[in-house]
Structures are given as structure tokens and as C-alpha cells.
Amino acid sequence: MPIDLKILAVDDEMAALELFKSIVGPLGYNVVGLTDSREAAQRVMQEKFDLVALDVHMPNLNGFELTKRIRQSSANPRVPILMFTSCDDIATMREGFASGVTFYIAKPFSVVKLRGLFSAARGIMIQERRRYIRLPLGVDVKCTLGGRRFKARSLDLAQGGILLEGSGGIADGEIVEIEFSVPGETQPLKIMAKVAGKSGSQGTALEFIEPEASDRAALERFVIAQTEDKKAA
């Protein structure tokens, strides 16, 4: 499953936005372009992106304000943020970094510099994507809640949790010990998990609680194996 990285680019100047897309798109990224920073603020609250690129001088919400909104969002609090602007003074850069900007590049865009930046940033984007990506996995899961034991079936797996088919009678907030096997691993994983809620009409989401180092490493190996980067620059 190659990783398809999605970029949100925000600039009120359509020409600059199109230039950015023409440089970054051919590198293998899915670029969503917006000219309205208010719309961008709404999108980052609901939709996960792998990087957000934004201008500093925009009407309504400027780049600093939009960056703060992104950092406060539930969907993209850790997303890498690239700020581009015609200003290249130290004060502007400091304010950008203080707001939560990760990278900074001056306009007009240099094709070589922009490509080089995305080459360097790709590893960061992939690492962040792997934190939340959910991968299909159908295995039997042994569950223990107090003195009660039951079996469930998994629907998908992430580094931070697992989705079970049905609920087995467990309720939100309860702590369950689960045991399940992961492809490629010789030993089953045994992890404490908290019921985080329902996902759709059938699934029950469990959030892992501080897995042991060996289990955490096994989860990371599974995700990495399933998300091998076929488009590495």
C-alpha cells in the first residue's frame, strides 16, 4: 500500500497557487488548492492533511492566524506547515515559527529549492501519516474485562488502536486487555486498551494504553510494511 500524501496549499493569489501546484504535483503529491483562508480553516478541522503550505499575507485570516487554527485543530495538530511569503526578514520568520510553522520559503518560488524542501520533508510527512493511518486487519482478538473473557474480530489496526467488529458488551471508557496476532510477528501482542467509542454502526474503537516496547515495535513494523513508500523522492 504505497502512501499517497495529500497537501493543502492556501494562497489568495491564484497565480502563486497554480505555480506551487505545478511544481509540487508532479512530485507525486495530491495538492488541494484554496484561495480563501476561512475555507482552509474549516477544512483542517474536518480533513487530515500530510502538509499544509500557506501564504502569510491573506485577507480574513493571515498565515499566522491560520497556523494557530491548524495547531488547535483535532485533525491536524501535528501536521508539518510550510509558510511562503515575499517577506524574508528575520522578524517575519520568527513570528511564523512562533505560531507553529515548520518550514519557511520565500516567494517567488525557486523550483530547485521547493523540490529540495519537499524531498527533505517527505520523511516527516510519512512518519506523521503512520501515526494515524488505519490498515485493514481481520484477526481474532481475545478480550478480558475483569473476570469475563470473550472473543472479537478486528476490522482494522493503527499504531494507536484497533477497531473491533461489534462491541462484546463493553462500554465507552472501560479498560480491556486484548491479545491478537499481527502478520509477520511470531508472538501475539498483549495490550491494555480503553474503549474510545463506536465507529459506524458495527465497530468499537479501542485506544491502546502505553503498549510494551516490544508490542509497540511490532505495531510499527506492521504499519511500515503495509505503507512502504513507493514514491520516495
From first to last of the 233 residues of the chain, give the pLDDT tens digit. Answer: 446 799 999 999 999 999 999 999 999 899 999 999 999 999 999 999 999 999 999 999 999 999 999 999 988 999 999 998 877 678 888 898 999 999 999 888 889 999 999 999 998 898 888 877 889 999 999 999 988 999 999 999 998 899 999 777 788 899 999 999 999 999 999 999 999 887 656 689 999 999 999 999 999 999 888 876 544 44
CA-CA distance, 37 to 39, in Å (whole number)? 5
Distance CA 213, CA 226 (A): 20
CATH of 6-132 given 3.30.1360.70, 3.90.230.10, 3.40.50.2300, 3.30.360.10: 3.40.50.2300
pLDDT at 200: 57
- Hey, what CATH topology would domain 135-226 get? Thrombin, subunit H (2.40.10)
Q: pLDDT value at position 110?
A: 87
**Which positions ≥6 away from 200 have C-beta within 8 Å?**
none
Nearest CA among 188, 147, 145, 189 for reference residue 168: 145
Total-model pTM: 0.72
How confident is the model at residue 35, as a pLDDT? 97
pLDDT attached to residue 233? 41
Domain boundaries, the chain: 6-132, 135-226
- What's the first-to-final CA gap in the chain, in angstroms? 17
Query: Burial, 66: exposed, middle or buried (Cβ in 10 Å; 0-12, 13-18, 19+)?
Result: buried
What pLDDT does 157 receive? 94
